[in-house]
Amino acid sequence: MSEMTEQRRTAVPAQVGTREAVLLPQRKPRSLWSDAWRQFRHHRLAVAGSFVLIFMVLATLIGPFLWPIPWNHFDMAEALQGPSLEHPFGTTDLGHDIFARILWGGRISIAVGVVAMLVAVVLGTLIGAIAGYFGGILDSLLMRITDMFISIPSLPLLLLITYLFQDRMKAIFGIELGMFLLIVLVIGGLNWMPVARLVRASFLSLKQKEFVEAAHCIGVGTGGIIFRHILPNTLSPVIVAATLGVAQAIITESALSFLGLGFPPDIPTWGRMLYDGINWIEFAPWMVLFPGGAIFLTVLSINYVGDGLRDALDPRRMFAV
Amino acid sequence: MTQYLIRRILISIPTLIAISIVIFTILALAPGDPLAEFAMNPAVPPEVRQRIRQSMGLDDPIPVRYVKWASSMLRGDFGYSFRSKSPVIDLIRQRLPTTLYVIGTAYLLSVLIAIPVGVLSAIRQYSIFDNIATTLAFIGFSLPTFVTGILFILIFSVKLGWLPMIYRTTIETEGLAGLWEKIKQALMPIMVLALFETAALARYTRAAMLETIHQDYVRTARAKGLSERAVILRHALRNALIPVVTIVALSIPGIFTGAVITEQIFRVPGMGSLLISAIRDNDTPVIMAITIIFSALVVLFNLIADILYGVLDPRIKYE
Amino acid sequence: MPEFVRKQDAIGATREEGTAMDEVRALESAARSGQLSRREVLKRAAALGLSAPVIASLLAACARGEATPTPAPAAQTPAARTPAAGASPTPAGGASPTAAPAGRRGEGGLVKLLWWQAPTILNPHFSQGTKDFDGSRIVLEPLADVNDKGELVPILAAEIPSVENGGVSKDAKTVTWKLKRDVKWSDGQPFTSKDVKFTYEFVIDEKAATTTMGNYQVIESVETPDDYTVVIHFKNPNPAWMNVFVGPYGMILPEHVLRDYMGEKARNAPFNLNPVGTGPYKVKEFRPGDVVVYEMNENYREPDKPYFAQVEMKGGGDATTAARAVLQTGEVDYAWNLQVEAQVLDQLEKTGVGVVEVIQGVNVERILVNMTDPRKEVDGERSKLGVPHPWQSDLKVRQAYALACRRDVIANTLYGRAGQATANILVAPERFVSKNTSWKFDLDEAARLLDEAGWTKGPDGVRQKDGVRMEIIYQTTVNPVRQKTQEIIKSAFEQLGIKVELKSIDASVFFSSDPGNPDTAAHFYADIEMFTNGPTSVYPVDYMISWYGKPDNIAQKANNWSGNNYERWQNDEYDKAYEQALVELDPQKQAELFIKMNDLVVNNVVVIPLVHRHSVSGRAKNLTGLELSRWTDETWNIANWRRSS
């Protein structure tokens, strides 16, 4: 942020208090965040992405209450029908309404995707930042731990964790919340390693830069340097990792249900719907098209939102506003 | 730097030992039974099952089993698979060439395609090229490999009949015709894998390039009058490569165990499917052998990446 | 050439039939080659005293110019049809596998097979799954095998023992097998009775820890009075005498190769990865878990067989792509166990490249009902015998459950050709199938029964009684068809007012024998669970033990959940019937006992049978001679596989 502040200072008109200055329209003092917001607003795709995302979240939250057909209702007589007025996204091989299931399952898919990604990103960023900034033994230790996590085969670990913790989580948090927490912790906990390595690499390079030295000089503490100065400049690969992470998390959740972990098998998360529909792809392509499209849209919007965020926070990208 | 290198190599040894202990313990504690298939079989009474368990050494305490495994491993003996009673080393040797050939090629291809595409995308941000590339990339990684795999099979095997959908390691045809057979059957799995990997890597490259080309020193280079090409290739790319190197270094060990679903769909007998079936069967010797090799690769490639950081960005120093 | 072929098949006949056999052979070859008119064939056949079906097939041979199956021996010795004392399957007195039309050995080239998993070991006595048996069967052979009708077919045996021919003693304690002569192992050594005796010793050795040991523990001793005779003495009268040396568990091992690898050394014998057998093929290349390549055994006893020079058995992947490979692209000639949604399979078959083969099954997908309470923990265990289930111990509630299962919808929509709704838990062999049971789907009656039992719908729609809510956990393995079955059952149950939580568990965990894992089928820490099971032999005592009520047969902590009775159900009548079946030699009484056991289990709703499952495979249109049998490996007849033109 300090680079941004530097730039800001040079933009302020030098002569204050002169006649010209008095005649100049006074601008409200701007905070850095509002600047970022304006920058974001200029990024058309980011704005579009945010709208799509918000729309999807609202649709999955409210939609199931508005749509007449329940997600778990099925009628064999209506099986394998293509999109129609009654079933805008068609029906499954048992006669479920796909639209209703996309709305209902979307809650879980989006929630799992976003939260698991956040867990991975936050954890990875923290570890990478500390390792990259402090170097030495701390770096070595943290990176060896990272190596270990990368090496562990996820399947037995998942089975073990479920076996050990599933019932306990359900008991403490209730069936649904317990399951949800276990899944996002597990997915996030197994995907933070690339983020950590990326952030650390950035830190190794950035901590040598002049602005860090400058921040030291003016007395910014370690925490401040890490979080307010260096970190915002490392966001670029982190955002890519985040968008990839959401897609991965949505798919991984369905993979978990095949191991007997995760949500009960009748919950139609998007990844699960893809798997259930894949055998029918020639005969009933809508079973794959719509869940795949939903994942695609979600990931795409998150990506553009991320792009916008990065551009907004990047001082070099700022144009005179 | 040499000091650093030696230190790192020395540290890898306890690291690998620690990793092997953790993995072994997880495997031993994880639920699942190498003898699951007998549970439903009335011809295998419980006493027999128990005897088989004992013969596999499954009833010894965990530390004892670990020490037994570790001591034979150090002698180069990876043990015998529970399932096939064949030496683990032979199983790995059988699968290695296929893995390198199919999955290695896919990865190589993805790197060769992703980096130029990512660079171009960044230079011409939001151009038509960038938008198409972005969309394709997103399709590439929002769709899991089992979807793209089946799609390819439908198009190229079923409808067009151009490519076989089952990978055979036993092609006997000699010469050019045999080579063509081998290429044909590897094409689809390679395409499926490359699609996924290229998509991810291209995004990272693009993001990293976007960061770099807005830097002051790039502007300086342009101002100096260097050709655009020199600017990009000699100045911008080097720094952009740091995150790319990170990702590539993380992914290379993944060649050995990561392509499980693709291997499944096309029946490519690679290490990934060996690992997965060993996990399903709770075939500990096989799992341990593969994961140890895998972790050695992880440690090695992360070391290479760290050294490359120093090469790419001279400001990075290691104490 | 044709006569030579026929002589091989004639080995199945007894000595008395010898001459007559030759005449029938000659007649048949003449008919085939078109030398005789139909009228001549008819006249001669009548003179030989052949039965109508045989004559019909001879006439058909005239017309087609192809050989027909030779049931002639069976027709000529109707006496052999009478089930001998304790011999439950009909020894078809020498019925051989369908003789294939004469061809040259090896002219068929390569045949490609596709299994879900490739074999990981080729010694069937260490097999850990069907694939290992199927892979070994191409190289090794038992004394006899069982065809789809349940009839014993001699393979390495010269004939099937029976009471009539003195092979089986009247008290079923001694069985004498006569072996074929001039059979060689693929390395040229002769096959003799010492190989059979050796197989017994190899399998029974505790230190070897073979997986087929269980079958052979009923044997007291094996004697070899001469090179081609084996005498088996059982410890007790054994109506199930055909469970040894027959079928997948009965493949004979070569003494001269394995004699130095008994006991502890057996596990690492090179034979396990490169077996020497008497079968039509030997192993050329074996990559465990990936593929096995077989080539012709030059020493195989039938010189014009096998038709295919090479067999490639590949494994891996999922059922749907396997179905595509055999039905859409024709990339493989045979694909095993296509567990694919019914409609998808139908569509794929329409391509016209392959054909779906349905093998009538012996298995039933069923729901088990827990008689004990899975929620109450007593002395560190749940579902403990003696702690009855709060509502499932009431027969009316169980009957309501059974009435709420839409078996036909499940069978037709999810299984299609691969299954049909059933009310029986024992669906094979034919003579033991009960005709006294039936099923129906009737939610109204189910509701009425629940009301009668005192379980009424509460304000939230869930049934309850005395403050206890009817909420159940329904568990099964991870499997798309099973998950859909769960959905269908759950939907009906919830209409009834029973709240259902679905649980799906990884198969290797569900079927594990790990005493520490609460998710196993044996632990049954749920209210109902679902899986498939069925008899493995034509005398299914090993299957019916699943409901035997002796305490150490009930899965409990005390026996590390190794008991076979998962429902924890005990019934004196059933126990008596089971114990009697173990020693009953009268076939009529045997049938009564098995039917009674089936009825007791079904009428007491200890289980809810859902689907009688068949095995569905795919084959290339021009692949014939398979003779697929539900009682044994699908590769059992591979010597006779060929391409039709």
Q: Which of A133, A105, A107 is nearest to A231 (CA)?
A: A133
Residue C381 has pLDDT above 80, yes or no: yes
pLDDT at residue C232 is higher than 90: yes
pLDDT bucket at A9, cuts 50 / 70 / 90: very low
Nearest residue to C364 via CA among C16, C598, C34, C625: C598
The mean pLDDT value of chain B amounts to: 84
Note the ipTM here: 0.83
SS (H, E, C) A243-260: HHHHHHHHHHHHHHHHCC
- Output the pLDDT for position C89: 44
- Which residues in chain C are contacts of A265 at CB distance < 8 A? 478, 483, 486, 502, 504
With CA atoms as reference, report the closest residue to A256 among A167, A197, A182. A182
Mean pLDDT of the region C346-354: 91
Residue A133 in this model has a pLDDT that exceeds 60: yes
* A281-293 pLDDT tens trace: 888 999 999 999 9
Q: Does the distance separating the beta carbons of B86 and C273 come in below 8 Å?
A: yes
Confidence of residue C621 (pLDDT cuts 50, 70, 90): very high
Residue C66, pLDDT above cutoff 50: no
Q: Taking a contact as any Cβ pair under 8 Å apart, which residues of chain B between 38 and 67 contact chain A?
A: none
Give chain A positions within 8 Å (CB) of C517: 163
What is the pLDDT at residue A10? 43
Instruction: Tell me, yes or no, if B257 comes closer than 8 A to chain A by beta carbon.
Output: yes
Say which residue the tokens 């990293």 belong to. B208
The whole-number pLDDT of residue C201 equals 95
Whether the predicted pLDDT of A160 surpasses 60: yes
Give the CA distances from residue C160 to residues B299, C87, C92, C225, C247, in Å, rounded to whole numbers and listed in that order. 64, 10, 8, 18, 13
pLDDT surpasses 50 at C92: no
Q: What's the whole-number average pLDDT of chain A?
A: 82
Higher pLDDT, residue A4 or C508: C508
From A225-239, B158-172, C394-408, C431-445, the region with the lowest mean pLDDT: A225-239
Determine contact, residues C534/C425, Cβ cutoff 8 Å: no
CB A40 within 8 A of CB A308: yes
Per cent of chain C over pLDDT 90 is: 62
Among the partner residues A151, A197, A288, nearest to B246 by beta-carbon distance = A197
Nearest to C224 by CA among C199, C247, C192: C192
CB atoms B316 and A208 under 8 Å:
yes
Quote the DSSP letter at residue B80.
B
Q: What is the pLDDT of residues A49-90, one digit of tens each?
A: 899 999 999 999 999 899 998 888 888 888 898 999 889 999
Left (φ > 0), alpha (ψ -120 to 50) or beta: where does C461 sit? left
Q: What confidence score (pLDDT) does residue C102 get?
A: 59
Chain C closest-CA separation from residue B150 CA (Å) = 8
Measured CA to CA, the distance from residue C461 to residue C469 in angstroms comes to 10
Any idea what the Cα angle at residue A152 is, between residues A147 and A155, rounded to 5°?
A: 150
Closest CA relative to residue B82, chosen from A308, C626, C272:
C272
Return the higher-pLDDT residue of C568 and B83.
Answer: C568
Which is higher by pLDDT, B285 or C601?
Answer: C601
For the segment C65-93, the average pLDDT, to the nearest whole number, is 36
Chain B residues touching residue A271 (CB < 8 angstroms): 144
The answer to whether the beta carbons of residues B41 and C514 sit under 8 Å apart is no
Tell which wins on pLDDT, B207 or C566.
C566
Q: How far is C310 from chain B (nearest CA, A)?
A: 12
Q: Binning pLDDT at 50, 70 and 90, where does residue C314 land?
A: very high
pLDDT tens figures, C100-125: 555 678 888 899 999 988 888 899 99
Give phi and psi for C497, each to the nearest 5. 105, 15
Q: Quick check: A20 pLDDT over 90?
A: no
Across the interface, whether the CB atoms of C511 and B54 are under 8 A apart is answered no
- pLDDT at residue C33, rounded to an integer: 52
Return the amino acid letter for C306: P
pLDDT tens digits along B4-48:
888 888 988 899 899 889 888 888 887 666 666 555 555 566 676
**For C476, which residue in chain A has the nearest alpha carbon?**
A260
List all chains that touch chain C, counting a touch as 3 or more CB pairs closer than 8 Å.
A, B
Strand segments, DSSP code E, in B185-306 are none
Are C212 and B161 in contact (CB < 8 Å)?
no
Q: Which amino acid is at C531?
A: F
C-alpha distances in angstroms, B68 versus A45, B64, B249, B289, C325? Answer: 59, 6, 33, 14, 44
pTM: 0.80
Q: Omega before C306 cis (within 30°)? A: yes
The reply to whether residue B31 touches residue C517, judged by beta carbons under 8 angstroms, is yes
Q: C178 pLDDT exceeds 70?
A: yes
Of C320, C344, C502, the CB nearest to A265: C502
b/e per residue B33-63 (b: at least 16 CB within 10 A): bbbbbbbbbbbbbbebbbbbbebbebeeeee
Residue B304 CA, distance from chain mean position: 16
Identify the pLDDT of residue A256.
79
Average pLDDT, chain C: 84
Contacts of C354 (CB under 8 A, 6+ apart): C326, C327, C328, C330, C618, C619, C620, C621
Residue C455, phi-psi category: left (phi > 0), alpha (psi -120 to 50), beta (remainder) = beta
The C-alpha atoms of residue C179 and residue A69 are separated, in whole angstroms, by 69
Cβ–Cβ contact B111 with A under 8 A = no
Q: Cis omega (within 30 of 0) on the bond before C71?
A: no
In 3-state terms, what secondary structure has residue C179? strand
Angle between helices B88-98 and B284-312 (to 10 degrees): 50
Q: Does A61 touch chain B (CB under 8 A)?
A: no
Instruction: Sort strands C229-234 and C219-226 into parallel, antiparallel or unpaired.
Output: antiparallel
Residues of C in contact with B267 (CB under 8 A): 314-317, 321
Judged by CB atoms closer than 8 Å, whether chains meet at C413 and A276 is answered as no
Cβ atoms of C143 and C203 closer than 8 Å: no
